[in-house]
Structure 1
């Protein structure tokens, strides 16, 4: 949870933040889609020209169309997993070169805050201070993070699942498969433009098995049984 974390190339980190005063930062489909597009557009050494982006959207171009044609030049990070929730986000990111994570997050959060404030005619901070970060120091914690991030949306249909367990696993799995604001669909074989956001090959090979729903739940539970 500390921002005293020192980012190092080739290491994985869990990055997250929530809205100021726990307010929602995603309220419409357009909000989610803008953040998803920015996950891709911000992950590069080339600049994002916000005015140009606005003009293209006004001309009827979709964000996914813009993503396909945007030249990022060199990516700053590898995104292994992500999930957007109404009032917060989770990212699992690997730093590619020194300073990559900081540059990526600065571009991402600045661009999204500008979009959100303009669309709501508001000013001021959108998120609770600086983004938070934890270092995935070992394989067990990395496995837990992948499971934790992808299981997050279950809370929207079973708010107490972490305390009481998932009551309806078939329903929960179906919900996760249909939830389009997470990288889970990309790992279970769905073909969609958003898959360009992540780099699955950056994760260790054993991580692919974690996308089995039952194993993901088990990883989450086992980690907490050890009180780590």
Structure 2
């Protein structure tokens, strides 16, 4: 995954996303999802970290690893079968690009070795959108966490929710996003997030769960945030 030449400003918020080359799946089993999730944590550091040398061979629990000097603050995230979305705050001008390079390179190396493949795993360079105002910030939070609904109701944004109860249950139980962490579940993956960064820019009445399911009922995240960001 190459470094995309975009202007990144310190202390600004961004939506980063990418998908598999030719829209191929990039997560084929639960271990693939788990590896990427762990990379979200350990790659968020200016330290050069080898998953095999620094984690596996030393017998260290990933979540106990002392990362030091993070590159970004991650506000929310979701992994889908062939793509991912990240909502981040830049802690320096070059932090996000370096983070994306590290995580993309590390995961592609893991994936290619596991499945005995060569070539690019991701479809070109990562894509990004600058979050320019509070309303967009709020939309993006829901947009990311509602992505999994497409797995069980692929056309919900165009045709509306056919089974709201099933959609809510699916989002609440989906392991591969930060929704559980925002909804109050106690799990190690919550260490990926810096929640305060999002509370700093959203209204005081912001309620994570209520906001997400409000937009589910409205069926309007795609209209509010823009279909161009669909992957």
Scaled by the length of structure 2, what TM-score is found? 0.88
Q: Normalized per residue, which structure has more helix?
A: 1
How far apart are the structure 1 equivalents of 2:224 and 2:44? 36
How far apart are the structure 2 equivalents of 1:223 and 1:113? 29
Name 1:221's counterpart in structure 2.
220
**Could you say what the CA RMSD is over the residues aligned between the two structures, in angstroms?**
2.2
Change (3 A) 1:32 1:223: closer
Name 2:207's counterpart in structure 1.
209
How far residue 179 of structure 1 moved from its aligned partner, in angstroms, is 0.3
In structure 1, the gaps of 5 or more residues are none
Change (3 A) 1:123 1:182: same
Change (3 A) 1:23 1:189: same
Name 1:176's counterpart in structure 2.
171
Change (3 A) 1:227 1:41: closer
How far residue 73 of structure 1 moved from its aligned partner, in angstroms, is 1.1
Name 1:46's counterpart in structure 2.
47
Name 1:117's counterpart in structure 2.
112
How far residue 115 of structure 1 moved from its aligned partner, in angstroms, is 0.2
**1:132 has 2:133 as partner:** no
Change (3 A) 1:154 1:226: closer
Change (3 A) 1:186 1:222: closer
**1:188 has 2:186 as partner:** no
Scaled by the length of structure 1, what TM-score is found? 0.89
* SS in structure 1 of the partner of residue 154 of structure 2: coil
* 1:43-82 to 2 correspondences below 5 Å: 43-53=44-54, 55-56=56-57, 66-82=61-77
Name 2:7's counterpart in structure 1.
6
Question: 1:210–1:216: 8 Å Cα contact kept in structure 2?
Answer: no
How far residue 226 of structure 1 moved from its aligned partner, in angstroms, is 9.8
Question: 2:78–2:178: 8 Å Cα contact kept in structure 1?
Answer: yes
How far residue 215 of structure 1 moved from its aligned partner, in angstroms, is 2.1
* Worse-matched range after superposition: 140-149 or 46-55: 46-55
Name 2:151's counterpart in structure 1.
156
Question: 1:44–1:73: 8 Å Cα contact kept in structure 2?
Answer: yes
**Runs of 4 or more above 6 Å deviation:** 225-228
* SS in structure 2 of the partner of residue 190 of structure 1: coil
Name 2:81's counterpart in structure 1.
86
In structure 2, the gaps of 5 or more residues are none
